[in-house]
Copies of this chain bind each other. A is one copy, B any other.
Amino acid sequence: MYELFYWPNIQGRGEFVRLAFEEAGVPYLDVAREPRGMVAMRALLAKRGGSPAPFAPPFIRTNGMLVAQTAVILDFIAPRIALVPRAEAKRVAAHQLQLTVMDLVTEVHDTHHPISVGLYYRDQKREARRRTTAFLAERAPKFFGYFERQLASMAPKGPYLFGSRPCYVDLSLFQVVEGLRYAFPSSMRKLERSARRLVALHDRVAERRRIKSYICSPRRLPFNEDGIFRHYPELDREE
């Protein structure tokens, strides 16, 4: 049994882990959404002795082991729930792609918090607009172009990065497209024109039985303005 610890009111980085469990059909407890779950999560963040405490959510607990850092969690669980090929070279390839996804996610976060996580968005709005402009004009196309090329070269016949079965990175790329569509609907229409493989991958993941049923379930939290992907219309570039 896996216990997931993450903020109960947002998709955030925890969503990449939730999507993996959901696609694999593996039962997991989303602890902080249970009664007294936040107390348990805070106790583990402050824990001392033995293995390191997590720096921040998400983290998981399984067989008494705590694993933190989104990409490490995925690298740890994926071979156990059949969401990555077995060969070491492919596991390493998936892991490095996932870290690049996480780098992109950090940059998305910083579009609305370019100065400090300790300040509200409204207190860094001018800087947010400047950073978002650069993100949409340079960084998003760079990341999209990168994933587009890897999809073309790793899996020319697709449908997934490693061929016929989805791995956790496919699910994370689905989530990135979902999130960016929510945050920047107008800019994404333009960005997607040069990212056909990525969009096709997104659509295939969206059609998977378990993902589809998860997205329609109350377990899938809606995007909102406390999460990483936030919709502030003033940041979304005009067409």
Contacts and interface: CB of A to CB of B under 8 A. Distances in A.
Given A114-B127, A115-B134, A50 B154 contact: yes
A99 B52 CA distance: 13
Interface stretch (A66-74, A173-181, A213-221): A66-74
Contacts of A49: 153
Contacts of A150: 52-53
B130 A50 contact: no
Interface stretch (A16-24, A26-34, A87-95, A224-232): A87-95
Interface residues of A, number: 48
Contacts of A76: 92
Nearest to A55: B100
B65 A89 contact: yes
A149 interface: yes
State the number of copies, please.
2
A110 interface: yes
A202 interface: no
A53 B114 contact: no
B118 A99 contact: no
A124 B127 CA distance: 10
Interface in A92-134: 92-93, 95-97, 99-100, 103, 106, 110, 114-119, 124, 127, 130-131, 134
A48 interface: yes
A138 interface: yes
A164 interface: no
Contacts of A92: 65, 67, 72, 76
A52 B95 CA distance: 11
A154 B146 CA distance: 39
B72 A99 contact: yes
B48 A153 contact: yes
B127 A130 contact: yes
A138 to B, nearest CB: 5
Given A55-B96, A110-B110, A116-B138, 17 more contacts: A47-B153, A48-B149, A48-B153, A49-B153, A52-B96, A52-B154, A53-B150, A71-B99, A72-B99, A106-B106, A114-B114, A114-B115, A114-B127, A116-B130, A116-B135, A118-B134, A127-B127
